[in-house]
Amino acid sequence: GAVVSQHPSWVICKSGTSVKIECRSLDFQATTMFWYRQFPKQSLMLMATSNEGSKATYEQGVEKDKFLINHASLTLSTLTVTSAHPEDSSFYICSYGQGNQPQHFGDGTRLSIL
């Protein structure tokens, strides 16, 4: 079945640091990937849709200059949290789908900003 690899799984860093999260599709070429954020004890909220070779589409309330998305190849999308602050601490998860198949998710990245 489809496999999504997300890296790193856990990051702890100081306030003001920029953090890059990678999401790779391992068994097919993904033109579209999704980035979600999950705060503790809450559901997943879509942050942005990452499109290969073009600009990402951000959901309302998500700062595009804060959360930089790059989808430069069909197998890799990256999310960079720039100048992270404690309020950015969250669980970030990527996913992709193909055709009529359901979306598959990465294992998530737990970001803790001190």
Partner 1 sequence: GEDVEQSLFLSVREGDSSVINCTYTDSSSTYLYWYKQEPGAGLQLLTYIFSNMDMKQDQRLTVLLNKKDKHLSLRIADTQTGDSAIYFCAESNGSGYSTLTFGKGTMLLVSP
Binding site for partner 1 (CB under 8 A): 6, 31-32, 34, 42-46, 49, 93, 95-108, 110
CA distance 87 to 15: 10
Nearer Cβ to partner 1 (82/110): 110
CA distance 114 to 100: 41
Cβ neighbours around 46 below 10 Å, total: 14
CB of 88 to partner 1, least distance (A): 18
CB of 16 to partner 1, least distance (A): 26
Query: Amino acid identity, residue 69?
Result: I
CB of 32 to partner 1, least distance (A): 5
Nearer Cβ to partner 1 (19/48): 48
Nearer Cβ to partner 1 (13/44): 44
Q: Which of 7, 93, 2 is nearest to 50 (CA)?
A: 93
Nearer Cβ to partner 1 (82/89): 89
Q: What angle do CA 1, 101, 79 make, to 5 degrees?
A: 80
